[in-house]
Amino acid sequence: MPKPMTPRDRVLTTFHRHEPDRVPINYESNSGIDARLKKHFCLRPDDHEGLRRALAVDFRGVGAPYKGPRLHEDLPGGISVDDWGMRRRWVEHASGGYWDFCDWPLKNATVEEIDAWPMPSPDQFDYAAIPDQIRACGDFAVGAGNPGVGDIINSNGMLRTMEQVLVDMATDDPAGLRLIDRRTEILLETTRRTLEAGRGQIDFLWLGEDLGSQRGPLISLPMFRKHIRPRMQRFVDLGKHFGIPVMIHSCGSSSWAFDDFAEMGIGVVDTLQPEAKDMAPAYLKKRYGDRLAFHGMISTAGPVANGSVDDTIKDCRATLETMMPGGGYAFAPTHQLQDNSPTENVVAMYETARTCGVYK
């Protein structure tokens, strides 16, 4: 058995497609299941670090907090508005609730209206907080960014509707492209300053772009190469400049873009919904495993949500058996674990990763 690694070494070994001592483990969840897991482990509701240690999570994240003025006010009717102007309302459901988007203020905006729309300035983030955040991470793998960094369809769709963003790219709409580029420039600069503040101690960069439905691509490959790839390449090149791996989140059937990802210098793909077209673990491992590492693949709509404990264990073991050989696989849910996931299933999911994810 290999000598135990630090979480940082475990993640970086995996991201370079080599075998670590065990598969790295990551965790993302909605608030309901998160609260139930903390209760299960007898943790305080705010003990986020305690839960990650209980689940043997190898990843941690850092980011510069926004310190600028409030740019948008909340609206009547319980509508919460963030610093980008994205509007959400809390929607109750049978197993909890969700902050869902309820209005799209830039749907019909002109170029002039988009230019005037208040957005955070890169000058108004506290990059001086980054070194202390990194020190608090200890020997865990430190990531900067998230699935909302560098994306075009998803986050711009939260202001303009996803349908309109797709039309914008298809028609080269000046207003839509102005929104895309304005947000891209802000995120690119805040990311650059975050990595600079990390002083070589940030281990990977996390980007995102949802490219697929369950049945196939959301857009054509030519459209991807015209509008998304050149803009995303700037973020990837930033990661290259700082000498760190780049991971990209993409929901749905997105393997049609994986060849381009590898050409761009992206080293790791996140999400990997196994029920979507051309996203089965065996297919991805065989087709792309010599060029890409993988993060995710435990479906939040599969046995962990809808099956028994035994079903969950069986599914996790099968995924590990397929993805582990040769390295290059980090165990994680395909997205945030949903509130309809039974607590015992999630606990079994992570116990299986710890016990069955060990390399011999």
pLDDT at 94: 86
Nearest Cα to 227, choosing from 247, 251, 209?
209
Q: CA-to-CA distance for 6 and 24, rounded, in angstroms?
A: 10
Mean pLDDT along residues 335-349: 97
User: What confidence category does residue 226 fall into, taking pLDDT thresholds of 50, 70 and 90?
Assistant: very high
Domain 7-70+106-356 coded CATH 1.10.630.10: no
pLDDT at 84: 97
- pLDDT tens-place string over residues 93-122: 888 888 999 999 999 999 999 999 999 999
Is residue 2 scored above 80 in pLDDT?
no
Mean pLDDT along residues 271-294: 97
pTM exceeding 0.75 = yes
User: What confidence category does residue 313 fall into, taking pLDDT thresholds of 50, 70 and 90?
Assistant: very high
Q: CA-to-CA distance for 351 and 55, rounded, in angstroms?
A: 8
Is residue 186 scored above 70 in pLDDT?
yes
Domain regions of the chain by residue span? 7-70+106-356
Is residue 85 scored above 90 in pLDDT?
yes
- pLDDT tens-place string over residues 37-72: 999 999 999 999 999 999 999 999 999 999 999 999
Residue 278, C-beta contacts closer than 8 angstroms, at least 6 positions apart: 253, 255, 256
